[in-house]
Amino acid sequence: MTGSHTLGETEARVANRLSHMKLDFEAMAVSSNLFRAASAVRNHFERNVLSDSGLSWTAFVVLWVTWIWEPAETRDIAAEAGISKATLTGVLSTLEKMELVVRSRSTEDGRLVLVTLTKKGQNLMETLFPAFNRQEVEVVSPVPDNKRGDLADMLRAITAKIEG
Amino acid sequence: MTGSHTLGETEARVANRLSHMKLDFEAMAVSSNLFRAASAVRNHFERNVLSDSGLSWTAFVVLWVTWIWEPAETRDIAAEAGISKATLTGVLSTLEKMELVVRSRSTEDGRLVLVTLTKKGQNLMETLFPAFNRQEVEVVSPVPDNKRGDLADMLRAITAKIEG
DNA sequence: TCGAGATTGTTTGGATACGAACAATATAAA
DNA sequence: TTTATATTGTTCGTATCCAAACAATCTCGA
């Protein structure tokens, strides 16, 4: 535990501090635990999987999306990675400097930039992603086998509700 | 939908692209949807609740933690907000410039810095947080009533496993 | 053909983000 | 008391991160 307050302590304190307001505490618990979990898992991955390769979280996500959709259009990468196109410009420059990806102009549409992985980038993902997945298994392990599908579905539903 | 690929499309493509590897796709689906949902919800809150007040997401979280634990020690704020102490230093300076919080040295331990909300900060949270909670309700609405407790519990379990 | 409007990636400016080094303070043992 | 060790918040350097302005390119109607 990083802080000095447990999750239970915090939620109890919150309920007490805000008892005079008309609030939906269950919705608050879901939202708050969503961010806590995402943040904890991300930090865990950064420390245990990404730190050796010198990749930031976002750089890894961009690399992963490119790996899946290669050759990938930058507008799609930004959308899939959940970052702005301005941010992507900088991250792609970093990845190019590391010689993991290559940018190229589309011949069909001069506005578009296509991104592909270098051989070095492919090799990295080929070893990095299985290691990443092993940590995913570790992280999800406290959720019972037969409830993981439900969990993914509920998270999908929340995303769809917002982006839908 | 922001991007041109739906969630289903992406997951199908991923399964196909990685079919030759021995991977736990269910764990991957949970982890990937966790980040997607957290990112979507955060962006939604930033646009629909925070943008008017000029607060960044992190600034809001710091303000919220301070509101709950006031007077709050910076080491606790950083842990609760899930950011480094270096980042917190900058965010607190921003919040002080906005006259929403005040820093003060602890008289019991000269190393500690205590943070309290100004009247302006209290007033802001008094109106901002209920609005925030209304959006939380909206965001969680696609999850059936009787499953929200389960969802929060599973997310809590994941966090506890990592920080445990 | 041509020009107004839309789309795309980059640049700009300012805030956030972290690790590492740092100075100040506290705690422990001798 | 003194010395070594630990803890805390800040500073520094560098890498994200975004909105808004921008230049290049495309589209489509006149």
Shortest Cα–Cα distance, A98 to chain B (Å): 24
**B6 band by pLDDT with thresholds 50, 70 and 90:** low
pTM to 2 decimal places = 0.89
Is the link from the previous residue into A71 a cis peptide, with omega within 30 of 0?
A: yes
Per-residue pLDDT reduced to its tens digit, B122-160:
999 999 999 999 999 999 999 999 999 999 999 999 999
The DSSP letter of residue A146 is G
Residue B82 region, left (φ>0) first, then alpha (ψ -120 to 50), else beta? left
Question: Would you state the structure tokens that stand for residue B13, as one six-digit string?
Answer: 């493509």
Closest CA to A60 of A137, A127, A156: A127
What integer pLDDT is reported at residue B3 of this predicted model? 46
Of A10, A34, A156, the CB nearest to B155: A34
Taking only the tens place, the pLDDT of each residue in B24-61 is 999 999 999 999 999 999 999 998 899 889 999 999 99
Nearest to A142 by CA among B123, B84, B26, B160: B160
Residues 57-116 on chain A lying near strand D, CB distance under 7 A:
57-59, 82-87, 90-91, 94, 109-111
d(CA A108, CA A3): 53
Burial (Cβ within 10 Å: 0-12, 13-18, ≥19) of residue A85: exposed
Looking at residue A146, what is its pLDDT? 96
Q: Are A110 and A153 in contact (CB under 8 A)?
A: no
Question: Which pLDDT band holds residue B1 (cuts at 50, 70, 90)?
Answer: very low
Distance from CA of B50 to the nearest CA of A (A): 16
The C-alpha angle with vertex A87 and arms to A86 and A91, in degrees rounded to 5, equals: 125
**Cβ neighbours for A15, distance < 8 A, ≥ 6 positions apart:** A25
User: Count of CB atoms within 10 A of residue A88's CB?
Assistant: 20
Contacts of B46 in chain A (CB under 8 A): none
* CA dist., res. B34 & res. B31, Å (int): 5
- Where b means 16+ CB within 10 Å and e means fewer, B49-60 reads bbeeeebeebbb
Mind listing the pLDDT tens digit for each residue in B69-120?
Answer: 999 999 999 999 999 999 999 999 999 999 999 999 999 999 999 999 999 9
Q: How far is CA A72 from CA A59, A87, A112, B18, B62, in A?
A: 15, 16, 10, 17, 37
**pLDDT in tens for each of the 164 residues of chain A?**
344 676 677 778 888 888 889 999 999 999 999 999 999 999 899 988 998 899 999 999 999 999 999 999 999 999 999 999 999 999 999 999 999 999 999 999 999 999 999 999 999 999 999 999 999 999 999 999 999 999 999 999 999 998 87
Could you give phi then psi for residue A144, rounded to 5 degrees?
A: -55, 140
Residue A3 main-chain phi, psi, to 5 deg: -90, -175
pLDDT score of B37: 94
